[in-house]
Structure 1
Amino acid sequence: MQCFQGKSVYKGIAMGPIVVLKKNDYQVKRIRIEDTEAEVKRVDEALKASQEQLQKLYDKAVREVGEASAAIFEVHQMMLEDEDYLEAIQNMIRTEQVNAEYAVAVTGDNFAEMFASMDDDYMKARSADIKDISERLVRNLSGQGDVDLSSIEPSIIVADDLSPSETVQMDKDKILAFVTVHGSTNSHTAILARMMNIPALIGVKMDLEALRSGVTAVVDGFQGMVTFDPDEETKVQTETKMQEEAEKLKLLQELKGKENITLDGRKINIYANIGSVGDIGYVMENDAGGIGLFRSEFLYLGRNDFPTEEEQFQAYKQAVQMMAGKKVIIRTLDIGADKQVDYFNLGNEDNPAMGYRAIRICLRQPEIFKTQLRALLRAAVYGNLSIMYPMITSTEEVKKIYEIVAEVEEELKAQEIQYKIPEQGIMIETPAAAIISDKLAEMVDFFSIGTNDLTQYTLAIDRQNEKLDDFYNPHHEAILRMIQMVVDNAHKCGKWAGICGELGADATLTEQFVRMGLDELSVAPSMVLKLRKIVREMKVEE
């Protein structure tokens, strides 16, 4: 039995087998071999395994995100059958007498470099595909295989860290808990854990190489502790705790269908934050009043090229139709900072959190922005859709956004395509936007306060830097004063204001937020009923 302490980002308890996800750098050694034909045969076997893995991924993606988004796995299957690519690998093995792993890695690098240097954008994008299939082949050759999270039993995911694109592609129904060596309380993994109502620990100083998948573990989010290979006594205690938590959850379920009204009649909307259409099930399961933050960047992650207008339209349309008249606030793409996407070619930045990201990309590359806006305006016809623009710092940016929206409207009108101009709001997540919120309120329909970035920028603390977690204080008086200022300025102009950042789910502040006059709190689906309980048991005047 081994116990490790970490930092809890969601308080819950889980027990089950672990799946260890290890980072691979794919730096393979060059080894001289005598039997070249045996190495060629190994490549053939790895190709078959890779094709089977890609077929499973394609089938899963078709079910979850549709054929258009799943097509990338078909492309990878076809590339694995490319004669030039395969002949180059076989030729290197035979002429240089090298091991299969080395031949695949070098050939992959050569082909990727060739595609990257081409003028045609489509061909450039194939560079990333070549890297992907080559890395898959190397994994299968070296016996590491491919962790297919769609076919495993419900498991605890143990990793060094998880990127947004990795978590987006996981089968969330099979995840019991997260445990990572690195990460911060505001990382994408932490946000996902809170949305899914599962325990998660970060900063656990464990040796991933010493762990093997299949071992039983207990993740205790209340104590911030993970125990690998627990003894019988620990297992029995864990079962008891899990039953107690299930009873508490059962009591919360009784609040479904009830309104979020205080004892003295003050009403507040409690909405849910989600990352994809697939998460709407969590929204319904937890009886949220609407979707206060739909992170549209999920459509851009985990792929090798920009999503088309039609792909985006179908996703947004599906979301508003499923919510059947309830509000769905879709945030325009917030790529950059911790959400890096290769095909955007953003380049390296010394301080990406303050760099080229979110609305700045949209205004500098309006062709990307227009595609998303066209899809949003078309989808607005089918339900209660609102658009929210992130990372605003000035009135000039809002004016520029409206100019682009007007251009898109004219295009759709000229093409006789059905559309609707929906409610448009902005995120208040920079001190600049908070301070000029009186002017911004005159221009927009609503404010949604992104407390994660607002705290980061106000305190000058990188929220992804785990070394600074002790200094990161979202309860800082400056943050709360800014929130009050934003709410007051919104109400003076007859506009509503809400919070969609992680602070909205802080139950210790719920009563204070209601008294501050916030109209809406958008939180992880798992927190909706917990906040409803607090609201229904409080009095504003006390």
Structure 2
Amino acid sequence: MLNSLRSIVQEVNAARDLKTALAIIVSRVKTAMKTEVCSVYLRGPEGDYVLMATEGLNADAVGRVRLKDGEGLVGRVVTREEPINLEQAETHPSYQYFPETGEERFSSFLGVPIIHHRKVLGVLVVQQVERRRFDEGDEAFLVTMSAQLAGVIAHAEATGVMVAIGEKAAQAKFAGVSGASGIAMGEAVVITPPADLRSVPYKTCTDVEAELAFFQKCLQAVREDIKGLGEQLKTRLNREEQALFDAYLAMLNDASLGKEVTERIRQGTAAPSAWADVILEHERTFSSMNDAYLRERATDLRDLGRRVLAYLQESNQKCRIYPDQTILVGEELTASMLGEIPKDKLAGLVSVQGSSNSHVAILARAMDIPTVMAAVDLPYTQVDGRTLIVDGYKGTVYTDPGPELRKHYKAIYLEEQELVKGLEALKDLPCETTDHYRLPLWVNTGLMTDVVRSLERGAEGVGLYRTEVPFLLRDRFPSEEEQRSIYQEQLSAFAPHTVTMRTLDIGGDKALPYFPIEEANPFLGWRGIRVTLDHPEIFLAQIRAMIKASEGLDNLRILLPMITSVPELEAAKVLIYRAFNELLEEGHSVKLPPLGVMIEVPSAVYQARELSARVDFLSVGSNDLTQYLLAVDRNNARVADVYQAYHPAVLRALRSVVDDGHAEGVSVGICGELAGDPGAAILLMAMGYDVLSMNATNLPKVKSVIRSISLEQARALLSEVMTLPDADQIRQRVDDTLRDLGATRLIRPASSTD
């Protein structure tokens, strides 16, 4: 059965469209289970379940038989969300006869739900004339099959609504999670890793002859490369091994792969898309073969495919033009990818992977770019050049939007602009409550472009400067002098206000391309202070650069990330004192800056008093703290909805930290995304946080809310929510308060995540 399962899934994955995939499923499952009927019902646009494919029932019934939730045995499977196994189906109270199917002959029934992301996509059914109680093995096989096929069917359904460019396009909606709020409408530009056959965006060509000539030119370049490799290795390989290079050359000729690709180009497909499609089809064929030797040839084919694709892509990248309203789309967007697009042309971001707390989402919020993360069902390789709407409030992406949808979102966009203008009037007003309690609002920065936006919106300091951003945007470690120059720009721009610089925080979801960290579980691995303590040469250069940059300004604070114990803190302090003393010996007129630690892990929460006794301030990183407290990988789209910053355990930890810090006489701030949530800001103020630091976009929103409430009201709300048992109830109570304050427009939509 395992071999059958693997073989069926491979065949379905190789199918070109949904209809073909379903035909394979019903045929192969019927054979594997030795039954007389196999059928697939899928959820239709109206919410009912439609017979989409069958082998054994009347073919004319396909597309005609429709059932609602709870209707018939299929509808009951949907409602129960679990298998139904009947030896005599017609005696069951939910049995419903559909004469067009001809199913009256079949007595035995086994139906299992096809579930993807908690939604029932459809039902997989097998039936038989003779009474047969399908055994546990049969049921387990069909359940396993439906689980394996759920993602494939979801993707095929999504792909099915995408039609070739140039034809009449159908509006489609894809759900993700909110990465950065706002509305963007523009043209999709798909960005992919180099020479990745599975990520090539679908494109057409208008000049077929020019595309054919370009393809042949790339093939010839690869032929020359292969001949050169063969010559270099001639003396080191025997005759049989040398034959591999001849096989590569044979595959490239006009009677083999070249011919198939040429035919697709003549039909209007661009060369990179045509080449990737042909290679992947042949690779799937080889991979599904029983013969081990032939299966291994799939590796050779992949290697050849990448070599040619590298040439095809290199030529295309050189002439890439970004439209004025670029919506950047990718399987997994990174900070360096954002840097490739001119900043005045980047309107929105869509990432298939990641979550609302991925590093790229945090950067997007800092840059005020509407973003949707975890759009897992979006067939991203097929949207290049299409019109997209990015709804960063609800975490939704629309492809090929119609006139009504465009009009709707244009109205929201204009309303959004009016709200921003209204909040800008608060710039020069203090952030204080109605009973005159003053709460400083600082900003999180990482790019120089953040500076102007932050100052324009009334920032009173920097609670978090992400020093890793300059590292991420380079192809090598920046020198001490380069770092000093960058840091001095930040310190000078905000002087005399305080600038809190976090030491290099890489690892987890922030990998440097020139310093890769490969780990099975990166968030529990080598990251933050662990990396820099293991590499004191990196740490010392950065500390020296920071302190030198503050000379004559004296507005620097140094913040240490990922501290989990007192010995880690002490080890870091030894290096900081060493760097400071070196600078004094070199004649620099510098002062030792205040030192703080980030509270990001549970161990730091429980040692907050011990850490506070050894530093000048604490700063809570609520993003990682929430992740570690709830055991949720914040980049994993499958568990994005489990990441809840309003979780009672998170709020209790936050209150505990501020109490312990104040008991030792140090100030306590918070620089996670929670600080920029207007509702959460009320709770944090009531807990006693001395500083809230957020991205510049949210600063006016938070100031607006703080100025509309009294500290007494905030403390009453905190007392109430701390007794509530779950995040949803807490969020609802906070939202009710925002409505009472007249701040309804600042409430985050229910469909987005914390």
> Could you say whether these structures have the same fold, taking a TM-score greater than 0.5 normalized by the shorter chain as the test?
yes
Number of the residue aligned with 1:363: 533
Aligned pair in 2 of structure 1 residues 27, 228: CA closer, same or farther (>3 Å)? Answer: closer
Q: Residues 323-342 of structure 1 correspond to what in structure 2 (within 5 A)?
A: 323-342=494-513
Deviation at residue 531 of structure 1 after TM alignment: 0.3
Q: Residues 83-98 of structure 1 correspond to what in structure 2 (within 5 A)?
A: 91-92=228-229, 98=249
Deviation at residue 151 of structure 1 after TM alignment: 5.3
**Is 1:509 aligned to 2:680, yes or no?**
yes
Number of the residue aligned with 2:173: 3
8 Å CA contact retained: 2:353, 2:635: no
Q: Distance in 2 between matches of 1:45 and 1:276?
A: 43
Task: Give the AA of the match of 1:379.
Answer: A
Structure 1-normalised TM-score?
A: 0.78
Which is worse superposed, 384-393 or 284-293? 284-293
8 Å CA contact retained: 1:276, 1:296: no
8 Å CA contact retained: 1:149, 1:171: no
Secondary structure in structure 2 of the residue aligned to 1:407: helix
Please give the per-residue CA displacement for 1:142-169, whole angstroms capped at 9, x wherever unaligned.
Answer: 4762288895423111221212332355
8 Å CA contact retained: 1:394, 1:432: yes
Aligned pair in 2 of structure 1 residues 368, 254: CA closer, same or farther (>3 Å)? Answer: same
Number of the residue aligned with 2:53: none
8 Å CA contact retained: 1:139, 1:145: no
Deviation at residue 375 of structure 1 after TM alignment: 0.2
8 Å CA contact retained: 1:168, 1:298: no
Number of the residue aligned with 1:373: 543
Aligned pair in 2 of structure 1 residues 148, 279: CA closer, same or farther (>3 Å)? Answer: farther
8 Å CA contact retained: 1:180, 1:203: yes
Number of the residue aligned with 1:210: 382
Please give the per-residue CA displacement for 1:215-251, whole angstroms capped at 9, x wherever unaligned.
Answer: 2222223343322222222222222221111111111
Task: Give the AA of the match of 1:207.
Answer: P
Q: Distance in 2 between matches of 1:284 and 1:448?
A: 22
Task: Give the AA of the match of 2:657.
Answer: V
**Is 1:17 aligned to 2:187, yes or no?**
yes
Task: Give the AA of the match of 1:193.
Answer: A
Task: Give the AA of the match of 1:160.
Answer: E
**Is 1:416 aligned to 2:587, yes or no?**
yes
8 Å CA contact retained: 1:425, 1:444: yes
Select which of 559, 563, 566 maps to 1:395. Answer: 566
Q: Distance in 1 between matches of 2:427 and 2:625?
A: 32
**Is 1:472 aligned to 2:664, yes or no?**
no
8 Å CA contact retained: 2:450, 2:696: no
Number of the residue aligned with 1:352: 522
Select which of 472, 493, 500 maps to 2:671. Answer: 500
Deviation at residue 382 of structure 1 after TM alignment: 4.2
Select which of 320, 323, 341 maps to 2:491. Answer: 320
Deviation at residue 18 of structure 1 after TM alignment: 1.8
Aligned pair in 2 of structure 1 residues 248, 345: CA closer, same or farther (>3 Å)? Answer: closer
Select which of 487, 505, 514 maps to 1:343. Answer: 514
8 Å CA contact retained: 1:20, 1:208: yes
For this pair of structures, how many residues does the alignment match?
Answer: 461
Secondary structure in structure 1 of the residue aligned to 2:679: coil
Task: Give the AA of the match of 2:173.
Answer: C
8 Å CA contact retained: 1:23, 1:160: no
Number of the residue aligned with 2:269: none
Aligned pair in 2 of structure 1 residues 373, 148: CA closer, same or farther (>3 Å)? Answer: farther
Aligned pair in 2 of structure 1 residues 341, 10: CA closer, same or farther (>3 Å)? Answer: closer
Deviation at residue 284 of structure 1 after TM alignment: 2.2
Q: Distance in 2 between matches of 1:337 and 1:291?
A: 24
Aligned pair in 2 of structure 1 residues 222, 407: CA closer, same or farther (>3 Å)? Answer: closer
Deviation at residue 259 of structure 1 after TM alignment: 0.8
Q: Residues 13-412 of structure 1 correspond to what in structure 2 (within 5 A)?
A: 13-26=183-196, 42=217, 91-92=228-229, 98=249, 139-142=310-313, 145-146=316-317, 152-204=323-375, 205-213=377-385, 215-346=386-517, 348-383=518-553, 384-412=555-583
Aligned pair in 2 of structure 1 residues 23, 382: CA closer, same or farther (>3 Å)? Answer: same
Q: Distance in 2 between matches of 1:271 and 1:230?
A: 39
Task: Give the AA of the match of 1:216.
Answer: T
Task: Give the AA of the match of 1:17.
Answer: E
Deviation at residue 301 of structure 1 after TM alignment: 1.4
Q: Residues 434-449 of structure 1 correspond to what in structure 2 (within 5 A)?
A: 434-449=605-620
Q: Distance in 2 between matches of 1:282 and 1:150?
A: 27
Please give the per-residue CA displacement for 1:235-279, whole angstroms capped at 9, x wherever unaligned.
Answer: 222222211111111111111111111111111111111222332
Task: Give the AA of the match of 1:390.
Answer: P
Secondary structure in structure 2 of the residue aligned to 1:427: strand
8 Å CA contact retained: 1:22, 1:208: no
Secondary structure in structure 1 of the residue aligned to 2:598: strand
Deviation at residue 479 of structure 1 after TM alignment: 1.4
Task: Give the AA of the match of 1:533.
Answer: S
Task: Give the AA of the match of 1:367.
Answer: E
Q: Distance in 2 between matches of 1:171 and 1:292?
A: 28
Q: Distance in 2 between matches of 1:326 and 1:395?
A: 29
| Structure 2 stretches lacking a partner, 5+ long | 1-170, 199-212, 233-244, 259-305, 714-754
User: Greater Rg, structure 1 or structure 2?
Assistant: 2
Deviation at residue 353 of structure 1 after TM alignment: 0.5
Task: Give the AA of the match of 2:381.
Answer: E
Q: Distance in 2 between matches of 1:41 and 1:428?
A: 58
Deviation at residue 212 of structure 1 after TM alignment: 2.4
Deviation at residue 468 of structure 1 after TM alignment: 1.3
Task: Give the AA of the match of 1:234.
Answer: L
Please give the per-residue CA displacement for 1:31-89, whole angstroms capped at 9, x wherever unaligned.
Answer: xxxxxxx999947999xxxxxxxxxxxxxxxxxxxxxxxxxxxxxxxxxxxxxxxx978
8 Å CA contact retained: 2:623, 2:672: yes
Q: Distance in 2 between matches of 1:311 and 1:299?
A: 10
Task: Give the AA of the match of 1:535.
Answer: I
Secondary structure in structure 2 of the residue aligned to 1:514: helix
Please give the per-residue CA displacement for 1:353-401, whole angstroms capped at 9, x wherever unaligned.
Answer: 1111110111111111001011011011143111100011112122111
Secondary structure in structure 1 of the residue aligned to 2:678: coil
Number of the residue aligned with 1:105: none
Deviation at residue 403 of structure 1 after TM alignment: 1.0
Number of the residue aligned with 2:112: none
Task: Give the AA of the match of 1:380.
Answer: S
Q: Alpha carbon RMSD of aligned pairs, Å?
A: 3.1
Q: Distance in 2 between matches of 1:455 and 1:177?
A: 27
Secondary structure in structure 2 of the residue aligned to 1:350: coil
Aligned pair in 2 of structure 1 residues 495, 143: CA closer, same or farther (>3 Å)? Answer: closer
Q: Distance in 2 between matches of 1:142 and 1:221?
A: 31
8 Å CA contact retained: 1:149, 1:170: no
Task: Give the AA of the match of 2:658.
Answer: V
Q: Distance in 1 between matches of 2:216 and 2:552?
A: 54
Percent sequence identity over aligned pairs: 36
**Is 1:450 aligned to 2:621, yes or no?**
yes
| Structure 1 stretches lacking a partner, 5+ long | 29-37, 47-86, 103-134
Relative contact order (C-alpha < 8 Å, sep 6+): which is higher? 1
Aligned pair in 2 of structure 1 residues 150, 398: CA closer, same or farther (>3 Å)? Answer: farther
Deviation at residue 511 of structure 1 after TM alignment: 1.1
Deviation at residue 189 of structure 1 after TM alignment: 2.4
